[in-house]
């Protein structure tokens, strides 16, 4: 089996004419998601409940559509699933943040470096690396008071993946419908160009410099030494500039068996995306050597749609299929006696999440 770097390099050689940025990857959200919202409304009319998908994962607030606590989902994991989740601690910002954060880290067996991120949020907003006590103090202070945050083990594996999982309530096993490899874009210094010049010379970053410049503003005039690599983003989200590759080819029976083993150990979880880091795609295919960062519910996407080679038609077909599945699963859970959250609860959760995200610091 080839390692991910070899696989990606081989594909890059074979598809030199492939675009560096998807034709719709950075469209305004209201343009891309309008057809999806309209499809949701049609399904809501058909099933007579616009919030029915929230019943697909009924033990999670809004089913994980929005406003849910990341840690509350991980907290539901049983002994089997917990072995695959990166250790974490949760606290709320307030007085004596550093001392309380260090105590929380100690209680969870965490040591520097750790990842600091909001417990309620999406799209990688506010996710940062804390490398020592000083950065932890500054990182905690960057959040407003009374904000729930997570401190999580920084997984040493270099390959971040998104695994989309669906299991109907009347089925013992679910299936993986999407596997995405998330690549961190990097610039390579030449010894005479500034970071800003390198940004505008790169085939991808020159097309969307506004995605990267805010995080690099303090370094734009810096001249990296020849050969030095400069990672442009830490958060594995396409909105923040990560590069996504469709790796459906790596979905294997062994990986599906492992994911089923894990997800069956989270009560009444039927639909969502697992974000994880793997030692390599070769070991991931074997269902080994990966750790889960977080588990997202019905508000998550099959992220392979952001592969630059994905057509708009395929992206919408994928989105429609997944949202149709949330309604089907929600209907089955409703027959079991579970209730959806209701449209007003969805709206309140979305507004709360939006207010919180507006207060979060810039991600790494």
Residues 317-357: tens digit of each pLDDT: 999 999 999 999 999 999 999 999 999 999 999 999 999 99
Angle between helices 29-47 and 312-335 (to 10 degrees): 30
Indicate the DSSP class of residue 172: S
pLDDT band at 4 (very low <50, low <70, confident <90, very high): very low
Q: Pick from 30, 39, 87: which is nearest to 291 by CA?
A: 87
Q: Which residue has the higher pLDDT, 10 or 166?
A: 166
Of 165-169, 180-184, 268-272, minimum mean pLDDT range: 180-184
Peptide bond before 41: cis, by omega within 30 degrees of 0?
A: no
Domains of the chain: 4-86+156-184+238-359 (no CATH), 87-154 (3.30.1490.20), 189-226 (no CATH)
Please write the tens of the pLDDT for every residue from 170-215. 999 999 999 999 998 899 999 999 999 999 999 889 988 888 998 8
Count of Cβ atoms closer than 10 Å to residue 202 Cβ: 18
Distance CA 178, CA 320 (A): 14
d(CA 136, CA 256): 37
Helix (H, G, I), strand (E, B) or coil at 129: strand
The yes-or-no verdict on residue 9 having pLDDT over 70 is no
Q: Is 17 or 188 the better-scoring residue by pLDDT? A: 188
What is residue 317's predicted lDDT score, i.e. its pLDDT?
98
Give every CB contact of residue 88 below 8 A, 6+ residues apart in sequence: 71, 74, 108, 110, 150, 151, 152, 153
Closest by CA to 310, choosing from 299, 319, 322, is 319
Other C-beta atoms lying within 10 Å of the C-beta of residue 291: 18
Burial state string for 68-82 with b = 16 or more CB within 10 A and e = fewer than 16: bbbbbbbebbeeebb
- Sign of the Cα torsion 282, 318, 166, 90 reads positive
What is the CB-side half-sphere exposure of residue 296 using CA atoms within 13 A? 22
pTM, entire model: 0.91
Please state, for a pLDDT cut of 70, what percent of the chain lies above it: 95
- Residue 139 pLDDT: 95
What is the dihedral sign for C-alpha 285, 287, 288, 291? positive
Q: Is 51 exposed, middle or buried (0-12, 13-18, 19+ CB in 10 A)?
A: buried
Q: Report the pLDDT value the prediction gives residue 26, as an integer from 0 to 100.
A: 86
Instruction: Please check the confidence at residue 113 and state whether its pLDDT lies above 50.
Output: yes
* C-alpha span between 44 and 39 (Å, rounded): 9
Does residue 12 register a pLDDT over 60? no
What length does the chain have?
364
Region 62-71 average pLDDT: 96
Q: What is the DSSP letter of 85?
A: B
Backbone angles phi, psi at 292, to 5 degrees: -85, 130
Can you give the pLDDT at residue 236? 65
pLDDT tier, 10 (very low <50, low <70, confident <90, very high otherwise): very low
pLDDT at position 123, please?
85
pLDDT in tens, 272-292: 999 999 999 999 999 999 999
Band of pLDDT at residue 18, cut at 50, 70 and 90: low
Tell whether the model's pLDDT for residue 33 goes beyond 80: yes
Instruction: Please give the mean pLDDT across all residues of the chain.
Output: 92
% residues pLDDT > 90 (the chain): 82
The Cα 186–Cα 227 span in angstroms is: 11
Instruction: Give the pLDDT score at 237.
Output: 76
Average pLDDT over residues 50-69: 97
């Amino acid at each position: 089996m080839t390692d991910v770097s070899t696989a990606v390099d081989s594909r890059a050689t074979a598809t030199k004419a492939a675009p560096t940025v998807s034709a719709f990857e950075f469209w305004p959200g209201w343009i891309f998601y309008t057809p999806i919202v309209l499809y949701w409304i049609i399904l809501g009319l058909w099933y007579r409940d616009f919030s029915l998908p929230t019943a697909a994962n009924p033990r999670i607030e809004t089913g994980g559509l929005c406003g849910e606590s990341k840690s509350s989902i991980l907290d539901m994991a049983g002994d089997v699933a917990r072995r695959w989740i990166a250790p974490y601690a949760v606290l709320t910002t307030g007085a004596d943040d550093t001392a309380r954060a260090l105590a929380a880290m100690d209680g969870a067996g965490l040591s520097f470096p750790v990842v600091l991120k909001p417990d309620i949020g999406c799209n990688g907003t506010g996710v940062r690396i804390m490398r020592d006590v000083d950065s932890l103090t500054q990182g905690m202070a960057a959040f407003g008071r009374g904000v729930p945050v997570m401190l999580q083990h920084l997984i040493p594996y270099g390959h971040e993946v998104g695994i989309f999982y669906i299991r109907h309530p009347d089925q013992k096993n679910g299936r993986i419908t999407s596997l995405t490899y998330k690549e961190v874009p990097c610039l390579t210094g030449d010894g005479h160009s500034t970071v800003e010049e390198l940004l505008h010379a790169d085939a991808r970053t020159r097309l969307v410099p506004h995605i990267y410049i805010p995080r690099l503003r303090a370094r734009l005039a810096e001249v990296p030494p020849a050969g030095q690599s400069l990672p442009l983003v830490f958060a594995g989200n396409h909105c923040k500039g990560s590069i996504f590759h469709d790796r459906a080819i790596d979905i294997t029976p062994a990986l599906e068996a492992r994911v089923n083993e894990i997800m069956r150990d989270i009560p009444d979880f039927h639909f969502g995306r697992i974000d994880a880091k793997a030692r390599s795609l070769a070991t991931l295919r074997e269902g080994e050597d990966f750790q889960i960062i977080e588990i997202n519910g019905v508000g998550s996407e099959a992220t392979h749609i952001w592969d630059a080679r994905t057509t708009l038609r395929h992206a919408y077909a994928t989105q429609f299929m997944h949202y149709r599945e949330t309604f089907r699963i929600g209907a089955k859970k409703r027959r079991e006696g579970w209730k959806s959250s209701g449209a007003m609860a969805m709206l309140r959760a979305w507004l709360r999440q939006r207010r919180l995200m507006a207060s979060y610091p810039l991600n790494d």
